[in-house]
Structure 1
Amino acid sequence: MARISLQLNPTLSRTTIKESSEPKLLHLPNKTRNSRVLILGGTGRVGGSTALALSKLSPDLHLVVGGRNREKGDAIVTKLGENSEFVQVNIDNVKSLEASLYDVDLVVHAAGPFQQTEKCTVLEAAISTKTAYVDVCDDTNYSMRAKSLHEKAVAANIPAITTAGIYPGVSNVMAAELVRSSKSENMGEPQRLRFSYYTAGSGGSGPTILATSFLLLGEEVVAYNKGEKIKLKPYSGMLNVDFGKGIGKKDVYLLHLPEVRSAHEVLGVPTVSARFGTAPFFWNWGMEAMTNLIPSEVLRDKNKVQKLVQLFDPLVRVIDGIAGERVSMRVDLECSNGRETVGIFSHKRLSVSVGTSTAAFALAVLEGSTQPGVWYPEEPEGVAIDDREVLLQRASQGTINFVMNKAPWMVETDPKELIFGIFL
């Protein structure tokens, strides 16, 4: 794949990007302009959103929507236009899967949930057919299994990025940039990194994200404190976090998320944690109650969780109509000299933003930013340092608030007053 050299604009460290109505069209090099991209799970909310984002960002791409339901597939192909097609594929069937990968330049794996999945079948098929790969995995164990295939991907000369959606994904790149900027600005050594996420309702993402949430409640939270791995109860450790303009202050709770481990290991930050919260507020109470009342072995059972999803989904859809689907993530970095820096990303619609974010990673791979092997988003071999700004600019299109490397008081909903140079 052709490698595009992109200059990193130093203004990324002090940037605010406001909402824009339409994504900016991209002009890819001739070698990648007409690439064929297969989106597995393309009839679902995340995969469909990714396909739509790619079609708007780069209309020359040939998009192949992969899924089991032809009726749904035909419907989304109609939206995408003539430069697209549907292919019926079952990712649990290796022959069917590998057949769909031939003559494809990149596969985007959005057929979740990834929790409790024992094998990285799609990644293994991508390596076997020498197809570049991106997934939107949000499960720690699955991401570690994917990383275990690193040497095979290198031998096959295949670039692959795991956990490359909005969170994890864009949040990892934000964290990497905060760490890089802190070191370049002599802010001292990074000491603590905290990921905070908020989504109104289910974010309009339907049963899949509901299943993901329930399955995560069955997983013990892994965090890091001064270099020591610690285990905590899921949906505990509540913090009230200020997500700034358009979102405000929200309660968030500990969850077991893959960016905690990858950021600790890749970025070398000794203290790392991740929290999530939702709205209306009683959903948080419900999630906390489920953790306390339902045995963890039930919440780790996909079949039993699916029954819970069927029970709750109608109610969730009603509440979603009232709550909306705003999404926000805040990444806080504290350094050894006491200085703090923050990045915030907020959007009105998770169902749109997750597709735009995933599309940004897909384009980075097509443009040659990713080296052979399996990488996390914050690894420079996954998204080259010089290409991070472009990825963040693409992912943040349509946001209501995107800031990087600001002092915490500068992004608060009610900022502290500055009198005679003293913060009160």
Structure 2
Amino acid sequence: MALRWMIYGAYGYSGELIARQAKQRGYSPVLAGRNADKLESLAEQLKLTFRDFSLQDVDQVKQELADVDLVVNCAGPFSQTAASLMHACIDSNTHYLDITGEIDVFEYAHQLAERAEQAGVVICPGVGFDVIPTDCVAARLNAQMPDATYLALGFDSGSRMSRGTAKTSVERLGQGGAARINGAIESVPLAWKSREIDFGHGAKMAMTIPWGDVSTAYYTTEIPNIEVFIPASPRLIKRLKRLNLVRFIFNWQWIQRKLKTKIDAKSAGPDAKERDNNPTYVWGEVSNAKGDTRQMRVKVKNGYSVTAEGAVELAIYTLEHSPKGGFYTPSRLYGAKLLDNYMID
């Protein structure tokens, strides 16, 4: 019997990109999600089958996964979907991948490592832009400096966020920043650190952000101190530092609803032309206790293009190679050579 896989949340911005990429490569995943009308419309366009179901009832989810070998979860915020779907996948012997960038989801997935290993199920969150390129850069830098004690990663792109990514950022705002310090993930202020970085096309001021690699890069490299940076103007950095005094208000539900309503009024995400015209520059730096330092810079496709292609690539790789069950990061699952698929001149 042919291996069967499913894209859950297929009608979202990234989910649809992944579904179209899968079809373009000749694969026929089952499209799934809560909204039957949206699923039917996309399924008709792509000539694929679909199933509509929510994730509220774990027993029902397990029934829907009974004949499915792998799920790619694209339904964010993943704080609301990942846990129940991971448990259902483990119970139904279905491999689980997702495209999250949420630190808490990565950490939760890692907690399920032993259960996943016993069930022979692969759990690999972050099979998109967050975190494929940065994870592979981290792995390659670690290979060059195995005694590294500090890792900094960063990226620069002119591409707009999708609605889902923007909503996830809003949810995180009230919690502040995050960094890994002496092996543990610690809460830090917004714009905690700033420095000038050349990501690959000129030096820019940059600031720390609570990006997924704060979690995943540790499991890839075991480097105990990890920070992630993006470009930010000095004005924005100052504004965010001042915002630390009142950032708790972003945890208020009515503030969250107001910000998310504004996000919903915008386009779903960058169109094909914008993706093609906005590559991503990825940078990494390691240092050891002696003060030795190494850096790496790569130019890769637009982040959403990496997500579409990477999710399909890792889904098919997992299905064809049947890795040992357990928790994986993208580079641990496929190897750091995965980065080569997305690098451009």
Shorter-chain-normalised TM-score: which range? 0.7 to 0.9
The partner residue of 2:169 within 203, 213, 229 is 213
Asked if 1:106 is matched to 2:54, the reply is no
Q: 1:87 offset after TM fit, Å?
A: 1.4
Distance 1:68 1:300 in 2: 27
3-state SS, counterpart of residue 62 of structure 1: coil
Alignment match, 1:244: 200
| Closer/same/farther in 2, CA of residues 214 and 132 from structure 1, 3 Å limit | same
Match of 1:271 in 2: 225
Q: In 2, distance between residues paired with 1:254 and 1:102?
A: 42
Considering only CA atoms, is the larger Rg found in Structure 1 or Structure 2? 1
Matches within 5 A, 1:222-301: 222-225=178-181, 231-245=187-201, 248-277=202-231, 284=236, 288=240, 291-292=243-244, 294-296=246-248, 298-300=249-251
Aligned pair 1:393/2:345, yes or no?
no
Q: Which runs of 5+ in 2 are unaligned?
A: none
Whether contact under 8 Å (2:128, 2:310) holds in the other structure is yes
1:213, CA displacement in angstroms? 1.2
Task: Tell me by how many angstroms 1:126 deviates.
Answer: 0.5
**2: CA distance, partners of 1:286 / 1:75:** 46
1: CA distance, partners of 2:49 / 2:242: 42
Counterpart Cα distance in 2 of 1:112 and 1:79? 23
User: Is 1:157 matched up with 2:123?
Assistant: no
- Partner residue in 2 for 1:307: 258
Misfit runs of 4+, over 6 Å: 318-321
CA-to-aligned-CA distance 1:77-136 (integer Å, 9 cap, x gap): 2443x3x21211212332442232121111001111124x49700010101111111112
- Mapped contact 1:221–1:234 kept (Cα < 8 A): yes
Whole-angstrom distance in 2 between the partners of 1:79 and 1:290: 48
Please point out which of 20, 24, 27 is paired with 1:56. Answer: 24
Q: Secondary structure at the match of 1:341?
A: strand
Secondary structure, in 3 states, of the residue corresponding to 2:283?
strand
Summarize the alignment of residues 117-136 of structure 1 with structure 2, pairs less than 5 Å apart. Answer: 117=80, 120-136=83-99
Supply the AA of the counterpart residue of 2:6.
Answer: L
Counterpart of 1:171 in structure 2 is 134
Quick check: 1:192–1:333 contact (8 Å CA) kept in 2?
A: yes
Check 1:139–1:228 CA distance in 2 against 1; reply closer, same or farther (3 A cut).
closer
Matches within 5 A, 1:344-383: 344-347=298-301, 349-368=302-321, 370-378=323-331, 380=332, 382-383=333-334
The 3-state SS of whatever aligns with 2:29 is strand
Amino acid at match of 1:357: G
Of 332, 346, 349, 2:285 maps to 332
Give the aligned partner of residue 139 of structure 1. Answer: 102
Q: Following the alignment from structure 1 to structure 2, what is the Cα–Cα distance between the partners of residues 333 and 242?
A: 15
Question: C-alpha deviations, 1:19-74, integer Å up to 9, x for none?
Answer: xxxxxxxxxxxx8xx422101111111111122222233x1x32111122233223
1:41 matched to 2:9: yes
Give the CA deviation at 1:155: 2.1
State the secondary structure of the residue aligned to 1:351.
helix
Where 1:344 maps in the other structure, the secondary structure is: strand
Q: What is the rounded CA distance, in whole Å, between the counterparts of 1:87 and 1:243 in structure 2?
A: 42
**Does 1:191 find its partner at 2:133?**
no
Higher-helix-fraction structure? 2
Offset of 1:286 from its aligned partner?
A: 10
CA contact (8 A) 2:191 2:237 kept: no
Cα deviations by residue, 1:265-295 (Å, 9 ceiling, x for unpaired): 54132331012347xx699579838944753
> Could you say what secondary structure the match of 1:367 adopts?
helix
Question: What is the alpha-carbon distance in structure 2 between the residues aligned to residue 149 and residue 228 of structure 1?
Answer: 18
Which 5+ residue runs of structure 1 have no aligned equivalent?
A: 1-30, 184-188, 402-424
Check conservation: 2:5, 2:30, Cα contact below 8 A. yes
Amino acid of the structure 2 residue aligned with 1:38: M
**Residue 333 of structure 1 contacts residue 342 of structure 1 at CA under 8 Å; is this kept in 2?**
no
Matched position secondary structure for 2:97: strand
Q: CA distance change for structure 1 residues 85 and 158 in 2, over 3 Å: closer, same or farther?
A: same
Q: RMSD of the TM alignment (CA)?
A: 3.3
Q: 1:87 aligns with which of 29, 33, 51?
A: 51
Letter in 2 for 1:342: M
Q: Residue 275 of structure 1: SS of its match in structure 2?
A: strand
TM-score of the aligned structures, taking structure 2 as reference length: 0.84
Give distance in 2, aligned partners of 1:318 and 1:262.
Answer: 27
- State the identity as a percent: 20
Q: Give the AA of the match of 2:158.
A: A
Q: CA deviation at 1:301?
A: 5.3
Counterpart CA distance in 2 for 1:240 and 1:54 is: 39
